[in-house]
Structure 1
Amino acid sequence: MRKASEQPWRTAIPSLNVVATSTVFQQDHNGYTHQDPGMLGHLADKKPEFIREYLPADANTLLAVFHKILNDRQKINLVVSSKHPRAQWFTMDEAKELVDNGLKMIDWASTDFGDEPDVVIASSGTEPTIESLAAISILHKKMPELKIRYINVVDILKLRSQTLDTRGLTDEEFDMYFTKNKPIIFAFHGYEGLVKDLFFDRHNHNLHVHGYRENGDITTPFDMRVLNQMDRFDLVKSVVKNLPNAEKYAQIVQEMKGMIAKHNQYIRDEGRDLPEVENWKWEGLK
């Protein structure tokens, strides 16, 4: 594609669109053969002008992504999306904004109200978004005074520095989203190194990524997340431990450890995930 694009007589060709639907955090029956989200990292190493990677969290965002990529030329687009029934998080307008801008602060899942947050929680991917929102719900119930900013990232490579990719956010834009020094808890669909690379040239290195840690198994969907510490309980623990006054909330950490122990016992006794996990729904921040 690079060489062809240098020839003025070659017409731009429609993009190659790769759709990955057997997501690492929702296996059910596929097992080890499908537990490798490495395509994200592999393509990210290619020429940035030709590569796009989208991780829509719901159906509306997936539709907005497809509207964009089906009209693309001279690109390789990787779309990672679950084929399982999922909650609808975003309106069509929100979904279009997410895809157009690559990411968005989600007001209805944030409690900073435009102020400097105490913590930034970000997610990229279907299951990471579910777990991040569940973690925010737990945190708000237990720490209503905590100022949380939630960011959903659909176009993960949009986080690149403009020195590497002209589409990337400027440092000023990046700091507006992620702040210069507040703790960032980032739930990610793929290997953690990709997100760490994206943050390398930025001001804020107070980054704590929860992605795939090569802890695969043939187990329940939620247990795959627990094994890789990309579950709601570990995300809550990560938030609390990275607050300046973490010792004040030590009891919350113990409660989350208790929930993980309860989960581990339940799946061995029942062969399925906890009812409060399987039946969880977003209740809003009251």
Structure 2
Amino acid sequence: SSVRQINALVAGKTLEPRWLSPELARQQVDAGLMVWDFASDEHPDLVMAACGDYPTKETMAAIDIVKTHCPNAKIRCVNVSSLTTVGFGTLRRVADQKFFDKVFTDDKPVIFNFHGYPQTVKSILFNYAVDSTRFDIRGYKEIGSTTTPFDMHVRNETSRYDLAIAAFRQLGRNGVVPFEEAEHLASIYQGKIDENTAYIKANGVDLPEIDAWVWPAARGLDEAKEEAWHGQTN
């Protein structure tokens, strides 16, 4: 337990994936952020990062979508579990500039999905020598009311479909994917958003495919194992 510190523990109300083994989870708790190798490519064209349980699930689903349509696009998945006023990581182990560049790269675009206000992450970036314009930070914008869980993500542009659209367009701008193809894919997933919105109005819940999604490595598991699925592929 910590001494002379205030600890805030925030927990969700729903069953969520277990992404890491206990050993890897301990490593991330110690560092405060980690590249998730099982969901990453070497020499990435794009970094997709998340902080928070629901944003993490949406980011992982977005990576799955992008890799399904653009298998040659190289994506790095970064997960952040600790933030401080002086940088990413824990108070005992704040990420310095070298580690920051190693994790987020020093020149690739980053789509960062956050469970709080985007300005929080923007303020932390001031601690680093970084071109903040390459960071597309998504988070809570105080938009939404009594609605479905996924629709709250849509209204705040933190849903898997919003993230996939942003990724397709970024890959199109960078020439990784032909621009016309990127825009076509973006339009498909804008249609998915519109389809789910219409379904909510008619049924009061999200489309079944939203809650049914699992990381590719967990597909095909029996029901008991799928309930305890985690994202590792090794």
Q: CA shift at 1:239, angstroms?
A: 1.3
Q: Is the Cα–Cα contact under 8 Å of residues 115 and 139 in structure 2 kept in the other structure?
A: yes
- Give SS of 1:242's match: helix
Aligned pairs for 1:262-281 within 5 A = 262-281=195-214
Which residue of the partner structure matches residue 152 of structure 2?
Answer: 224
Q: CA shift at 1:242, angstroms?
A: 2.2
The Cα offsets for residues 53-109 of structure 1, whole Å up to 9 and x where unpaired, read as: xxxxxxxxxxxxxxxxxx100001122221321121111111101101111110111
Hey, what's the Cα distance between the residues in 2 that align with 1:255 and 1:161?
35
Alignment counterpart, residue 107 of structure 1, candidates 37, 42, 50? 37
Alignment counterpart, residue 63 of structure 2, candidates 114, 136, 139? 136
Which residue of the partner structure matches residue 179 of structure 1?
Answer: 105
Q: CA shift at 1:166, angstroms?
A: 7.2
Which residue of the partner structure matches residue 121 of structure 2?
Answer: 195
Aligned pairs for 1:15-54 within 5 A = none
Q: Is the Cα–Cα contact under 8 Å of residues 112 and 135 in structure 2 kept in the other structure?
A: yes
- Give SS of 2:84's match: helix
Do structure 1's residue 160 and structure 2's residue 99 form an aligned pair?
no
Q: CA shift at 1:181, angstroms?
A: 1.6
Do structure 1's residue 170 and structure 2's residue 170 form an aligned pair?
no
Q: Is the Cα–Cα contact under 8 Å of residues 31 and 93 in structure 2 kept in the other structure?
A: no
- Give SS of 2:139's match: strand
Unaligned ranges ≥5, structure 1: 1-70
Q: CA shift at 1:275, angstroms?
A: 0.8
Q: CA shift at 1:161, angstroms?
A: 7.2
Q: Which has the higher contact order (CA 8 A, sep 6+)?
A: 2
Which residue of the partner structure matches residue 30 of structure 1?
Answer: none
Change (3 A) 1:274 1:159: farther
The Cα offsets for residues 138-191 of structure 1, whole Å up to 9 and x where unpaired, read as: 0000000011000111112287179xx774211111000001121100010000
Hey, what's the Cα distance between the residues in 1 that align with 2:79 and 2:194?
29
TM score, norm. by length of structure 1: 0.70
The Cα offsets for residues 211-260 of structure 1, whole Å up to 9 and x where unpaired, read as: 10110210011111111010000001111222312624111110111000
Q: Aligned-pair RMSD on alpha carbons?
A: 2.0
Q: Is the Cα–Cα contact under 8 Å of residues 86 and 94 in structure 2 kept in the other structure?
A: yes
Letter of the 2:83 counterpart: I
TM score, norm. by length of structure 2: 0.85
Task: Find the structure with the greater CA-based Rg.
Answer: 1
Change (3 A) 1:257 1:216: same
Runs of 4+ in structure 1 over 4 Å off:
none
Figure out how many residues of one structure are paired with residues of the other and give that number.
Answer: 211
Hey, what's the Cα distance between the residues in 2 that align with 1:200 and 1:241?
26
Letter of the 1:181 counterpart: D
Unaligned ranges ≥5, structure 2: 218-230
